[in-house]
Amino acid sequence: MVMTSYLKDETEGRTSYENWHKPKDLPKFDSGLFGGAVAAMVFGFPWMAFAIYVWQLPWFWDVTFNESTAWGFLAILLTGFALYPWAYSTLFFTWALFGKPSEKRAGEQIGGIHLLHFGMIWFWLLFVFTTCYTWWGMMFGIGMEPEGWAWALFVPALIVTGIGFQGPFWGLFLIFHGSGAARNPLPAQALTQTGNVVLINNLCGGLNSEVWDNKDLAGEPSAVGVDPNIDINWGSGGPPGVGGDQFSIRWSGFIIPKETGTYTLETSNDDGVRLWVDGQLLVDEWYDQVGKHPAAVDFEAGEVYDFRMEYYENGGQAKAKLRWTRPDGNHEIVPCDAFSPTKPDTPATIVLRGAKSGELITDRLNWWD
């Protein structure tokens, strides 16, 4: 691990966050992925021709719709295989133009393509092969004469249809949405250096975090690090190394709002919580409980305010979240870029992950520019 330090530019009047250079987070065009996307797209044409003329794909669909729906399994299976190059081409084009997501998110999208494919087979099995579609047809008179008695099949039809849609639904969910953990991966875990620390691979801010293996924040913390924000639900567990019960955490740093006006900070916690902004105690709910506690505070855009939040877990479920309602009415988890683990007018230590011993690091890092 290579460590260096930097000072902000000595520019007159830079006393607030708004005067600092902000990290650019614009996606860069990836020519490698773009080339892969073009190659996959081009390969898709002869591959589809192979599926049509060698696998006889049209024949499978003709037999499925005119003779036996049992052939639908093979028809969907082979059609999915035939479309894979174009599906991957579309995905690579998206990554090339808008930026490749985290490794976990990329894995979800790839998995979603395959889940959608086999989910369609599952849907065919439950909705078509079982003739469930005819139940709906008889109930609503779609493509056939309505039958009053068919309404007795309403609940079974609803259940079978719902189960049948699970595969395609979750496939599309993984492709276009995915899990929160994959969309917003946490920065590198637990810095052990003392002093002012900034993660070079975490382009937002975050808060210093200290974790104790008791509920009183007593003694030396068991772990220290930088958390992107306060949005954690451990369930019946807890932070690594301290178990699921009887632990406490202190988040500290600075909050730098981007709009002037009255904000409502809201803690959501299980169990106790305390919250200070600029030395003022806004929330003091230090007891076993599950609750949400709002507190109004006036902020000036770009000003730097001291921030501290303390939390403890006694037993059972554990969670700690901090949301705010901005002056424009938007209610959200306080984002990473609203926090800073160090005061913007102080030097900071930068931990360069992945740097090799002896590697030359520029004396002045303009990574904010």
Fold of 197-352: Toxin - Anthrax Protective Antigen; domain 1 (3.90.182)
User: Two tokens at 182?
Assistant: 């994959």
With beta carbons less than 8 A apart as the criterion, state whether 225 and 187 touch: no
Write down the domain spans for the chain.
Answer: 31-183, 197-352
Residues 6 or more apart whose CB falls under 8 angstroms from that of 35 comprise none
User: Two tokens at 2?
Assistant: 């290579």
Query: What span, in angstroms and rounded, lies between the C-alpha atoms of 362 and 4?
Result: 9
Length of the chain in terms of residues written = 369
pLDDT < 50 positions in the chain? 1-25, 187-203, 348-369
CB atoms within 10 A of CB 11: 9
Query: What span, in angstroms and rounded, lies between the C-alpha atoms of 184 and 62?
Result: 45
Query: What span, in angstroms and rounded, lies between the C-alpha atoms of 79 and 89?
Result: 16
Q: What is the pLDDT of residue 281?
A: 94
Residues 6 or more apart whose CB falls under 8 angstroms from that of 30 comprise 95, 96, 99, 100
The values of phi and psi at residue 28, to 5°, are -100, 140
Query: Angle between the 154-164 and 166-176 helix axes, to the nearest 10 degrees?
Result: 40
Q: What is the pLDDT of residue 16?
A: 34
Dump pLDDT digits (tens) for 73-92: 899 999 999 999 999 999 99
The values of phi and psi at residue 255, to 5°, are -115, 130
Q: What is the pLDDT of residue 203?
A: 47
Output Rg (C-alpha) for the chain, integer angstroms.
Answer: 28
Q: What is the pLDDT of residue 92?
A: 93
Query: What span, in angstroms and rounded, lies between the C-alpha atoms of 324 and 45?
Result: 51
Q: What is the pLDDT of residue 368?
A: 38
What type of residue sits at position 145?
E
Dump pLDDT digits (tens) for 167-195: 999 999 999 988 877 776 554 443 333 33
Q: What is the pLDDT of residue 113?
A: 94
**Strand ranges for 78-222 from DSSP E:** 197-199, 207-212
**Strand ranges for the chain from DSSP E:** 2-6, 197-199, 207-212, 223-227, 231-235, 247-255, 261-270, 272-277, 280-285, 291-299, 305-313, 318-325, 331-333, 339-340, 348-352
Q: What is the pLDDT of residue 184?
A: 64
| pTM attached to this predicted model | 0.47
| Beta-strand pair 272-277/305-313 | antiparallel
With beta carbons less than 8 A apart as the criterion, state whether 323 and 331 touch: yes
80 SS3 class: helix
Residue entry with tokens 């382009």: 203
